[in-house]
Amino acid sequence: MKNPAWLGEPFAIKDNKIFLTKKVAKRLLAEAQEAFPYEYSALLAGRGATITACVPMPVSPDKHVFAWDGKTFLQALQHIRKHNLQWLGVLHTHPHTPPIPSARDIAGWHYPTLSYWIVGLATEQPEWRVYQWVQDGSCSSFAAIDYTLTEVDCDDEETNGSSAPKNS
């Protein structure tokens, strides 16, 4: 079955390259540092392979990104759809550990087409990592990939247009 139009496939285009606007990166980092020592998380949205927006999720003292309750999660998805964007990934922080997916992260991930970002805040310089879910036969896991920071922000006029994002 085909994915709905709002569910992005950032890795299906441009040779697995994924882009994040500097504006969104800056905002994510500021909010992540504000949430410290708690874990911060957000949904990432945009078009194609470029993340141009983020929807912060409530900071959970339970320490895990997938402690999002269903209602909050659906509201965030609705926000993305309403702005005619695609859901392209999630980001969460590891306030005290390196930005490597934990066993819980791996077990809790159900969106293999999306990008998975972790920002490690245990070091003096925040460490950004982005992962792609890779299925290799019966074995699947997160693989770290490169990302590109970009100035481009197609978040303005274009998103008010009438054409829905196409997944083909």
3-state SS, residue 130: strand
Residue 105 engages Zn ion in binding (rule: CB under 5 A) = yes
**Would you say 5 or 107 has its CB closer to Zn ion?**
107
- Please list the residues that pair with 148 across neighbouring strands: 19
CA separation, residue 70 to residues 22, 60, 73, 82, 122 (Å): 30, 14, 5, 18, 29
Taking the complex as a whole, how short is the minimal distance between the CB of residue 41 and Zn ion, in angstroms?
9
Question: Applying CB under 5 A, which part among 41-49, 94-102, 141-149, 159-167 lies near Zn ion?
Answer: 94-102
3-state secondary structure of 131: strand
Residue 126 burial (10 A CB sphere; 0-12, 13-18, 19+): middle
Nearer to Zn ion, 59 or 154 (CB): 59
Q: Which stretch binds Zn ion (CB under 5 A): 76-84, 98-106, 109-117, 141-149?
A: 98-106
Give the shortest CB-38-to-Zn ion separation in angstroms: 13
One residue of 72, 78, 102, 148 binding Zn ion per CB under 5 A: 102
The residues that touch Zn ion, with contacts defined as CB under 5 A, are 102, 105
